[in-house]
Amino acid sequence: MLPIVDLPLNPGEKYALIAVNGATDISEVIDLGNGLFELPGGGFRLPEHWREWIGSVESEQIETRTGLLLLAKRASDRPEVLDAENQQLQRQTQWLYWGLLATGRFWIQGGATQVTGTYSEGQVSVAQKGRMLDVFNIQGLQPVRIGEADLRRAARLAGNLGDLMVRRGMRRVKLALRTFWSAFEEKDLGQRIHQFVRVASEGFAKSFGHREFIERSRVFVGKGWMVECGQLYRMRNNAEHFNLPDSINGSSQINGFGSTFTTTCVLMHSGGNRGQTAPSFGVEPSTSKPPSEDSTARISPMKRRKPQRALAARRIN
């Protein structure tokens, strides 16, 4: 096993890293630019003072269960001081981790460990440790292994996210991003879809209702996925009212729910841009037109109520 002092650090540099329990085929250090790096896990041995500081559980995760390490570093005039520089490095690794979650449907499990410190006097020190939110895989989702292209895309997303988060205002978007992150903690399929749809509908599309969500979502995923977007919104409503994700009036009736679930994962993890169709991963996007008013009524049957004024006038007469 390699000592952890083999991290790509120079004397006087501060760092932050996140140890991720994820599946990857990467076996070497990758420079992702802007002070961000990826390192393969499972081959490090922690110094004893690290084990005492971090604790046995986190130490075991870093040494034996970590698939990869996400690292951010920078030179510092005060490497021995825990200050805003460390906080910024922690945020950079968190944004990189967020970008990785947004890039694809990878096998990532549990709560990643985050540490920050410095490299000075020939050794790596730990000044602070923390734990990221837990991430759970849902049964039925077929995850893939993390590759170099995925990490580079995650790094680009991390840079964009960093630029956005330091801007003043934009409260709605920032809350939506936090909701996206917390959705990975949901073990229930319906609740996870509920949170993902909230991110798109209330956070970015600012849509109101089923049809408006379908119409505005095509900006993000393209025209070919509009029927599936309608199904997603239905599942969001089912979760809101404590029904099963694929239920209609309380009973499971949505046709082809297995493919709809796969499409859900593709849509929510694709990061599609304007005019770009989400990758299919074995599920072809629907070419159907958006649901008509009649079909929408069949999907979500609601009785029209007569205005109270009309009823009152009828009683008077």
On the question of pLDDT at 3 being above 80, the answer is no
Distance from C-alpha of 285 to C-alpha of 156, rounded to nearest angstrom:
27
The Cβ of residue 317 has, within 10 Å, a number of other Cβ atoms equal to 5
Q: How is residue 144 annotated by DSSP? A: B
What pLDDT sits at residue 42? Answer: 65
Q: Which helix (H) or strand (E) element contains residue 72?
A: strand 68-75
> What is the reported pTM?
0.70
On the question of pLDDT at 187 being above 70, the answer is yes
Distance from C-alpha of 136 to C-alpha of 171, rounded to nearest angstrom:
27
pLDDT digits (tens, 9 = 90+) for 5-39: 468 889 999 999 998 988 898 888 999 999 999 98
On the question of pLDDT at 199 being above 70, the answer is yes
Strand 68-75 versus strand 110-120 pairing type: unpaired
Which residue would you say has higher pLDDT here, 159 or 217?
159
* Phi/psi of residue 116, nearest 5 degrees: -140, 150
Mean pLDDT, rounded, of the chain: 75
Distance from C-alpha of 300 to C-alpha of 297, rounded to nearest angstrom:
5
Q: Residue 92: which pLDDT band, with cuts at 50, 70 and 90?
A: very high
pLDDT digits (tens, 9 = 90+) for 112-143: 888 899 988 777 888 888 888 888 877 767 88
User: Do 132 and 111 meet the contact criterion of CB atoms below 8 Å apart?
Assistant: yes
Both tokens of 50, joined, read 């690290």
Lowest mean pLDDT among 9-13, 99-103, 133-137, 256-260: 256-260
User: Do 213 and 233 meet the contact criterion of CB atoms below 8 Å apart?
Assistant: yes
Distance from C-alpha of 97 to C-alpha of 72, rounded to nearest angstrom:
11
